Amino acid sequence: MIHHVAIIGAGFSGALQAINLLRHDGPRATLIERSLKVGKGVAYSAAHPSHLLNVRAANMSALPDDPDHFVRWLAANGGGDGGSFVPRIRYGDYLAELLGLAVAAAPGRLRILRGEAADIVTDAGGVTVRLADGDTIRADAAILALGNLPPHEPAGLDPAALAPGAYAADPWGGDLADGLGAGDTLLAIGTGLTMVDMALLLDARGFRGRMVALSRRGLSPRAHAPGPPIPAGLSERPSKAVSVLQAEVRARAREIGWRPAIDELRPYTQGMWLAAGPEERARFLRHLRPWWDVHRHRLAPTVAARMAAMQEDGRLILAAGRTIGFAQDGAEVAVRWSPRGEAGERTMRVRRVVNCSGPLIDLGRTREPLLRSLSARGLIRPDPCHIGLDVDVQAQLIGADGQPNPRLLALGPLTRGAFWEIVAVPDIRVQTWAVARRLSNAHWVEGEGL
């Protein structure tokens, strides 16, 4: 019987897991967070007012059993309606308030602890979470909700070989425009959503120099349609084979437009990924993932318009290629890179390099102490594609012995290798709800287990 759960990480996934445990009258919980960002995480706490949600408010309720919850909160707080793309800092306020209300409604059942989990030891009776300061927490089960981990260093870059301030490993840390003038160039490694956030932030802070964003294919996120989504529905389940699915989506896009063609896959995406074998998944990641990401994870129309204006003004340039090496050259960094489709290499000189390549969860390369410790002792292992941790369909972590551990679970982006679509609010809210119901034995209610 589970009476006490330790949740490692108090960002969106961890906080929502705690909220759902309380709502289901489940086990008491200890929410462990090493930063002060309880209930918000990086996405909703480090944001600037210009950073908007990439999903309309109508689909951003944190509670799957109450789909209009966030819209009602917005109305009560004067913040927009269901069609709005709300500032992310407002959504952070919503999450913090939701957590506070849940705690107040169930006094004594949730403890929020600031600390860093350094290790977890499991035994037949439960788990012991060891904190970096030497304290321990005894629980019946532990849930890893670490969110998105920092990206790995770009190929050819040694931070120690560059001058202080020439390289920013964290696009959210400090003022990236500090010390830069209108004649300077900043290089962003990556052209996805993280780069978009960085570009908006630099623009808001008055940087009038040039930004170059570089990725293997130079693809950037597409925009949402300006109006409400066009309802569409598939008449039959889509094909499982990646090659066949690609052709089907293209044909469907010609009929109804690419946005609804992508959107109508949502009810099937996780099931298709779960049904695909390792080779099929690897082919998708190798050939189609960049295209899927930019069409699936879109920008609010106003954000897309700002990005387009920056490109038209020549202040933002998207480039396709790969980095080869970085060397300090006086006040600049000489970046050697190979353009996509060309045999040779080029050199660009920039004042600052910012890692916007996005989160990666390759267990073999992570610097996260907790994951390294658990991996060394065989309690966790990477998924076959090395994009997350190996878990079963119930989010139970699978160890080096190939067996799932019912006392050790993971949530959110850490489980991307198993579920693929598990990085956004609409997916994580369902996952945390389902895990909470199992831990609370609420899944037997309403005939779900009968």
- Looking at the fold, whether 371 and 262 belong to one and the same domain comes out as no
Beta strands in 270-351 (DSSP E): 316-329, 332-339, 346-350
* CA end-to-end span of the chain: 19
Residues 28 and 127 in one domain: yes
Where would I find the beta strands (DSSP E) of 351-445?
Answer: 352-355, 396-398, 404-410
Same domain, 365 and 336: no
Distance between CA 438 and CA 449 in Å, rounded? 10
The CATH number of the domain holding residue 133 is 3.50.50.60
* DSSP alpha helix (H) spans, 158-265: 193-204, 242-256, 258-263
Instruction: Return d(Cα 410, Cα 374) in angstroms, integer.
Output: 13
Distance from CA of residue 14 to its chain's centroid?
13
Q: Are 196 and 297 in contact, with CB atoms under 8 Å apart?
A: no
pLDDT attached to residue 447: 42
Give the domain-ending residue among 296, 316, 342.
Answer: 296
Q: 69-76 and 88-105 helices cross at what angle (nearest 10)? A: 100
Residue 423 sits in which domain range?
Answer: 4-150+360-447
H helix or E strand, kind and range, residue 144: strand 141-144
Task: Indicate whether 49 and 81 sit together in one domain.
Answer: yes
pLDDT score at 36: 64
What pLDDT was estimated at residue 148? 84
pTM as predicted: 0.91
The Cα 371–Cα 149 span in angstroms is 11
In a domain, 283, yes or no: yes
The gap from C-alpha 114 to its chain's centroid, in whole angstroms, comes to 22
Domain co-membership, 121 together with 200: no
Phi, psi at residue 186, to the nearest 5°? Answer: -115, 135
The answer to whether 17 and 145 have CB atoms below 8 angstroms apart is yes
Domain boundary among 313, 340, 355: 355
Instruction: Name the helix (H) or strand (E) containing 75.
Output: helix 69-76
Those residues of the chain that have pLDDT short of 70 are 36-47, 228, 230-232, 235-236, 240, 443-450
Question: Using CA atoms, how far apart are residues 57 and 55, in angstroms rounded to an integer?
Answer: 6
Do 146 and 166 sit in the same domain of this protein?
A: no
Q: How many structural domains comprise the chain? A: 3
Q: Are residues 375 and 432 in the same domain?
A: yes
Residue 91 resides in a domain: yes
Q: Are 104 and 125 in the same domain?
A: yes
Contact 43, 79 (CB under 8 A): no
Is position 326 within any domain?
Answer: yes
CB atoms within 10 A of CB 173: 10
Indicate if 288 and 310 belong to the same structural domain.
no
113 and 189 co-located in one domain = no
Span 331-349, pLDDT tens digits? 999 999 999 999 899 999 9
Do 38 and 133 fall into the same domain?
yes
Residue-level pLDDT at 40 = 58
Among the three residues 355, 372, 391, which one is the final residue of a domain in this structure? 355
| pLDDT score of 362 | 82
Please indicate, yes or no, whether residues 289 and 389 belong to a single structural domain of this protein.
no
Tell me how far apart the alpha carbons of residues 391 and 412 are, in angstroms, rounded to a whole number. Answer: 11
